[in-house]
Structure 1
Amino acid sequence: MNCYCNSQKLFKDCCEPYIKGMEKAPTAEALMRSRYSAYATHQVDYLVATTHVSQRHLYSKENILLWATSNNWQKLEVLKTTPTTVEFKAYYLDQNKQQHIHHEFSTFVQEDGIWYYVDGEYY
């Protein structure tokens, strides 16, 4: 099966090793892609674990799971990356089959060799 992040790689060779904790995402972009795949596969624990500790209080597992499961994730489009930021569009269908685009400029930080999502600006 192709990876949800639209990398053209197989899921098992792309985001799955990060989500399952077998490997650490080597870049901010790899982390962002794996987080998109985690939303598509409802991996809430991974989403919490990869959110920076200073921001975790802003999210609940219940709300993350609701957002992940109430949408049908269609595709990811990475627009621009720097070593610590990723701009992307996530395409999804809501429960009423309405098409939406989540356009975000995300910020990441690396601590002790591990990348974390810090926050995002939405367009």
Structure 2
Amino acid sequence: MSCACGSGRVATDCCGRWHADAPAPTAEALMRSRYSAYVRGDVAYLLATWHADTRPDAASLAPDPATRWLGLEVKRAVEDGDTAVVEFVARFKVGGQPAVRLHETSRFVREDGCWFYVDGAFS
């Protein structure tokens, strides 16, 4: 089965590795694995990869069963030492509503060899 992140690879050889507790090697890999976690409804993974300074509570991440994720496109990923920026577009649909295009530029930080999502700005 192809990975939800759109890499074209099998999920176990892609984001599945990071979901199984191996640290994502790049901020882009972490961002892709977080998208896959949203698709899977894996709140524990989302919380574990969210920086402690900006992490929300679990209740705010509860998956909506009416949400269907439609795809991910990474626009750019730039790492500078232990910080990074990843710009992406994720598409999703809730129930019978029109599809939504979420365009975000996310900030990441690496601490003790692990990347964490800090926050993002929507375009």
Residues 38 and 63 in structure 2, CA contact (< 8 A), matched pair in contact too: no
Identity of aligned residues (%): 42
Question: TM-score with structure 1 length normalisation?
Answer: 0.92
1:50-69 map, 5 Å:
50-56=49-55, 59-67=56-64, 69=65
Structure 2: which 5+ runs fail to align?
A: none
Shift of 1:78: 0.3
Which runs of structure 1 show a deviation greater than 6 angstroms over 4 or more consecutive aligned residues?
none
SS in 2 for 1:46: helix
Greater helix content: 1
Name the counterpart of 1:91.
91
Q: Aligned pairs, how many? A: 119
Name the counterpart of 1:121.
121
Picking from 71, 74, 78, the partner of 2:70 is 74
1:1-123 map, 5 Å:
1-21=1-21, 23-56=22-55, 59-67=56-64, 69-83=65-79, 84-123=84-123
Map Cα deviations across residues 9-61 of structure 1 (whole Å, 9 max, x no partner).
Answer: 1101000111121x1100000000000000000100000010001011xx221
Greater strand content: 2
